[in-house]
Amino acid sequence: MLMDRLQTDLSTSLKAGNSDRVETIRFLIAGVHNSVTATYGVTWEKDMKDADVLEAVKKQIKTHRESIEAFEKGNRPELVAKEKAQLAVLLEFAPKELSDEELKKILEPIAKSGEKNFGLLMKTAMAAAKGQAEGGKVSAMLKSLL
């Protein structure tokens, strides 16, 4: 299970004295805990799934990317470097991103389905991408295929 991998990696990083990695993983574990506790209540430990952990990972990745962009605009290179280091750790736990070619192969049949409502097309496209592509990327490619 992914949560076990996080705990093991945290322990290894603690022993290695890698404080940045420890901080990132602890923050991720806390985010997962908060998310699953809100979803499942007191039975969170036995009801938690890898999908819940991946959702928390994706949420934190998005936050770090937004922070990097904001810090770059604010000319704060030291904070950009820290955010990029933390983002690299989070990306190790995220599912592999689809390449543009793979995403295009998935989206072409959806674009050719004849549906005119873009919202419904996006819903279908995001389900087909299975969390392996960002919504903005899916949206842009879907628009280009239409």
**Torsion angle in degrees (nearest 10) through CA of 24, 29, 31, 36:** 160
- Domain residues of the chain, as ranges? 2-91, 100-145
What does the alpha-carbon distance between residue 115 and residue 125 come to, in Å, rounded to a whole number?
12
Task: Enter the DSSP assignment of 18.
Answer: -
What does the alpha-carbon distance between residue 94 and residue 68 come to, in Å, rounded to a whole number?
18
Each residue's pLDDT, cut to its tens digit, for the chain (146 residues) gives 788 899 999 999 999 999 989 999 999 999 999 988 888 888 877 788 888 888 889 899 999 999 999 999 999 999 999 999 999 999 998 878 888 888 888 888 888 887 788 888 888 888 888 777 878 888 888 888 87
- Predicted pLDDT at 143: 85
- Predicted pLDDT at 104: 85
Asked if 36 contacts 52 with a C-beta cutoff of 8 angstroms, the reply is yes
55's tokens? 């959702």
pTM check: above 0.85: no
- Predicted pLDDT at 9: 93
What does the alpha-carbon distance between residue 108 and residue 122 come to, in Å, rounded to a whole number?
12
| Domain topology for 2-91 | Hypothetical Protein Yqey; Chain: A; domain1 (1.10.1510)
